[in-house]
Amino acid sequence: MKKINLLNTSGKGLAPANLIVISFLSAILIGTILLVMPFSSKLGHSIGFINALFTATSAVCVTGLVVADTATTFSIFGQTVIIILIQLGGLGIMTAAALFSMILGRRMGLKERLTLQESISEFNLQGIVKLFKNILIATFSIELAGAFILSFSFIPIYGFVRGVAKSIFHSISAFCNAGFDIMGTAEQPFQSLTNLNNHAGIVIPIALLFILGGMGFVVWRDIVRVRKFKEFMLHTKVVLIFSGILILTGTILFLLFEFNNTMEGMGFFQKLMNAFFHSVTPRTAGFNTLDVASMTSQSQLITIILMFIGAAPGSTAGGIKVTTFAIILFTVITYVRGINDVNMMKRKVSENIVKKSLSIVFMAFSLILLTTIVLLISEAGTLAECLFEAVSAFGTVGLSTGITPSLPFAGKIAIIITMFFGRVGPLAVALSLTQSKANKQLFTYPEGKISVG
């Protein structure tokens, strides 16, 4: 009997970037079929195809936007399907496929290694299988440790069985930056962690899981192996420095703008903790401890900016990625100063990387603009609400001002597409630019003059 390789596609020669896209689509389709079944719902009847598709896409793309409250709508089976889809989406479908391939005792060939390399944004092919194993061990260890720590807070509140279940679910969802929660009740659905925003044993561990999940596998390895900041790769330095700047700046601004608004009545430590949480969660995590709809316009704008930037490449996070943001920032500074080469921390950034960064940002702006227009045409909400929703979908964040459950059909389709491209699109384009067979020009056109600015 001929062996089937989970990472190959019958020798059709599909590029790794295409394989990644197809794998995400396949997982979404399977998830939709399972979630549309009556036994996935607590009420015993189907939630409908479009709602199942929306939920499956949100889970696989680790977004967290939901049209139906996860805790009150889905049965234990449905919630289990959702958390499995989140885990698959967080690891990367190709990484999960490689895991099953290894379980079945199959060796990975060159094509499979290349696909795995690009799926986790690794720079070198050498040692990719060992790195992959380390990623799996680290992922499951961190999620297990997170669940264990959370259980000390959840078990006293919900009892042993429910407490353990909530600990496991929220640890995986947090580490994968998914934003799904099972905290809703019939009286108060879609509550996320708003009723537990005074509980440091829940808020802080979940925030730390966001950060660890959003750092990226390459950064983990560099920190564990090298341990000295001066000797880190440029990639690791940029991720750590800019992540720190964004988290610190966000914390200060949220504390300032929400001090006497959504944080009114809290003690200073609780305010600081929630400001920190809401500085971290827009970087694609999706949980919230404060009512986003009640936030000031300034805080909502800060949230949009943080959602757009996202976290690190090769992580469970979305957005344009913090490294892309850093490259664009340094490119602008470089050209304003009249310098030709883009330099970061005594290292030159290649022109190809700069072009890719500009392409990703332009595509992101275009997708968000198009999605916002569709939401406005379908009368999904105000301009601010629609823009917030579009950026949240693209950044695979999951935060919302509250319009997601009432989205019209066209709005749901637009958000589904945006979530998918937010998770796969920029990555796939970047990969195809990296691996594409160069279409080299055999000639050069005369230089033309054009004015800009």
* Cα(254)–Cα(258) distance, integer angstroms: 6
CB under 8 Å to 67, separation ≥6 — which residues?
Answer: 51, 54, 55, 404, 405, 407, 412
Q: Is residue 3 in some structural domain?
A: no
How many C-beta atoms surround the C-beta of residue 25 within 10 A? 15
Per-residue pLDDT, 121: 52
Q: ∠ CA(189), CA(316), CA(199), 5° rounding?
A: 45
**Helix-, strand-, coil-residue percentages of the chain, each rounded to 5:** 65, 0, 35
User: Is residue 99 one of the residues assigned to a domain?
Assistant: yes
Q: For residue 1, tell me if it sits in a domain.
A: no
**What is the count of structural domains for the chain?**
1
Nearest to 396 by CA among 86, 94, 138: 86
Inside any domain, residue 191: yes
For residue 354, give Cα distances in angstroms to 344, 345, 357, 380: 12, 16, 5, 36
Residues in the chain with pLDDT values less than 50: 1-12, 104, 433, 436-438
Neighbouring residues of 69: CB distance < 8 A, sequence distance ≥ 6: 184, 189, 190
Q: What is the pTM of this model?
A: 0.88
| Total Cβ atoms within 10 A of residue 200 | 13
Residues 6+ apart with CB under 8 A from 232: 222, 223, 226, 240
Give first-to-last CA distance, the chain, whole Å: 65
What secondary structure does DSSP assign to 352-379, as a single string? HHHHHHHHHHHHHHHHHHHHHHHHHHTT
The angle subtended at Cα 150 by Cα 148 and Cα 154, nearest 5°, is 120
Q: What number of other Cβ atoms are within 10 A of residue 7's Cβ?
A: 22
Q: Which residue from 374, 421, 415 is spatially nearest to 392, judged by alpha carbons?
A: 415
Which domain range does residue 421 map to? Answer: 16-433
Spell out the residues 6+ positions from residue 226 whose beta carbon is closer than 8 angstroms to its own.
Answer: 232
Do residues 155 and 199 lie in contact, with contact meaning Cβ atoms separated by under 8 Å? no
Position 202 in a domain = yes
Q: What is the pLDDT of residue 8?
A: 43
Q: Kindly state the greatest CA–CA separation across the chain.
A: 74
d(CA 168, CA 439): 48
pLDDT score recorded for residue 24: 83
**Residue 347: beta bridge partners?**
344
257 within some domain: yes
107 in any annotated domain:
yes
Q: What are phi and psi of 386, to 5 degrees?
A: -70, -40
In a domain, 401, yes or no: yes
Residue 200 and residue 222: Cα distance in Å, rounded? 30
